Amino acid sequence: MKLCVIDASVIGLMILPDEAPDIPPQLMPVMVEGRALVPQHWRLEVLNLGRTAMRQKRIDAQRLERALTILSEYRIHLDDGTNRHAWGACMELAARHDLTAYDAAYLELAIRTEAPLMTLDKALAKAARHEKLELIA
């Protein structure tokens, strides 16, 4: 079973109903088959995305709670090594590719586990291509 690193930009499509048509067709098989792999900060980043959407009146609290409940039902592999690499490899990747620390964590995880990376973030996708990672966008 090949795991796939999925960043919050992709999961955001599952939370925001106006963006649902843009969900990559590869996402649901990865989620349903339990092949999603995420860094330790992932849940907080997804929650922040939802809270931002609420402030922008794109969704209400009930929609966010329902989406998070659905997400919690998927078997998502939470990497236990993210923090060990935060001040080393993540910092170096963030500097090399001018990424946020959060995006560098996705990149580092995909490199370390040799897993494909699914993202809609342009800067992260560019960095993944530079690192010669398998990219699903």
Q: Of 93, 135, 97, which Cα lies nearest the Cα of 115?
A: 135
CATH number of this structure's domain 4-136, picked from the four choices 3.30.365.10, 3.40.50.1010, 1.10.1060.10, 3.20.20.70: 3.40.50.1010
Q: How far is it, in rounded angstroms, from Cα 131 to Cα 136?
A: 14
Residue 137's pLDDT is: 75
Residue 52's pLDDT is: 95
Strands (E), the chain: 4-6, 36-38, 76-78, 117-118, 135-136
Residue 1's pLDDT is: 73
Residue 76's pLDDT is: 96
* Element at 111 (helix H, strand E): helix 101-113
Strand order in the sheet with 135-136: 76-78, 36-38, 4-6, 117-118, 135-136
Q: What share of the chain is helix, strand, coil (3-state, %, to 5)?
A: 60, 10, 30
For the chain, residues with pLDDT lower than 70 are 20
Residue 20's pLDDT is: 66
Written as six digits, the tokens of 81 are 């090594």
Q: How far is it, in rounded angstroms, from Cα 93 to Cα 1?
A: 27
Cβ count within 10 A of residue 81: 14
Task: Specify the residue for token string 């992260």.
Answer: 124
Residue 19's pLDDT is: 73
Record the pTM: 0.92
